Structure 1
Amino acid sequence: MWTQPKINWDIEDKINVSDYNRIKNNMQYLINLAYELYPEFGIVALGQDKTYSDLPYASIWNAIERDIDAIYANTFQYPEHKDTNTYYPNNKYISSADLNRIETFQVKMKELLENQKRGRHRLSFRLGGDRYA
Structure 2
Amino acid sequence: MIWREPKTNWADEDFVNTEDWNRVEGNLEYVSSFDGIGYTPKAWTVSDFPTVSRINRIKSGINELAGRISAQPLEISTQNLQKFGCGDMNQLESYLLRLYERTKQLELGTVRAGTTVAGREINLPIGGI
Q: Shorter-chain TM-score: which interval?
A: 0.7 to 0.9
For 1:102-121, list aligned pairs within 5 A: 102-121=92-111
Identity of aligned residues (%): 23
In structure 2, distance between residues paired with 1:54 and 1:103: 20
Q: 1:52 corresponds to which residue?
A: 46
How many residue pairs match? The answer is: 122
The more displaced of 109-118 and 121-130 is 121-130
Give 1:105 deviation, angstroms: 0.9
Q: How far off its partner does 1:72 sit?
A: 1.0
Q: Note closer, same or farther for the CA distance 1:129–1:66 as it changes in structure 2 (3 Å cut).
A: closer
Matches of 1:31 and 1:58 in 2, distance apart?
22
Q: Residue 88 and residue 122 in structure 1: after superposition, are their counterparts in 2 closer, same or farther (change >3 A)?
A: closer
Would the aligned equivalents of 1:9 and 1:99 in 2 still touch at CA under 8 Å? yes
Among 80, 85, 99, which residue is 2:76 paired with? Answer: 85
Aligned to 1:66: 60
Equivalent in the alignment of 1:24 = 25
Q: Structure 2: give runs of 5+ residues left out of the alignment.
A: 124-129
Contact 2:74 2:92 in 1 (8 A): no
Change (3 A) 1:105 1:66: same
Structure 2 residue aligned with 1:98: 88
Deviations 1:7-40 (A, max 9, x none): 00012211011101101111111111222xxxx4
Q: What is the CA-CA distance between 1:76 and the residue it aligns to?
A: 3.6
Note the aligned Cα RMSD (angstroms).
2.7
Q: Which structure has the bigger radius of gyration?
A: 2
User: Residues of 1 paired with 2:118 and 2:25: CA distance?
Assistant: 42
Q: Distance in 1 between matches of 2:118 and 2:4?
A: 40
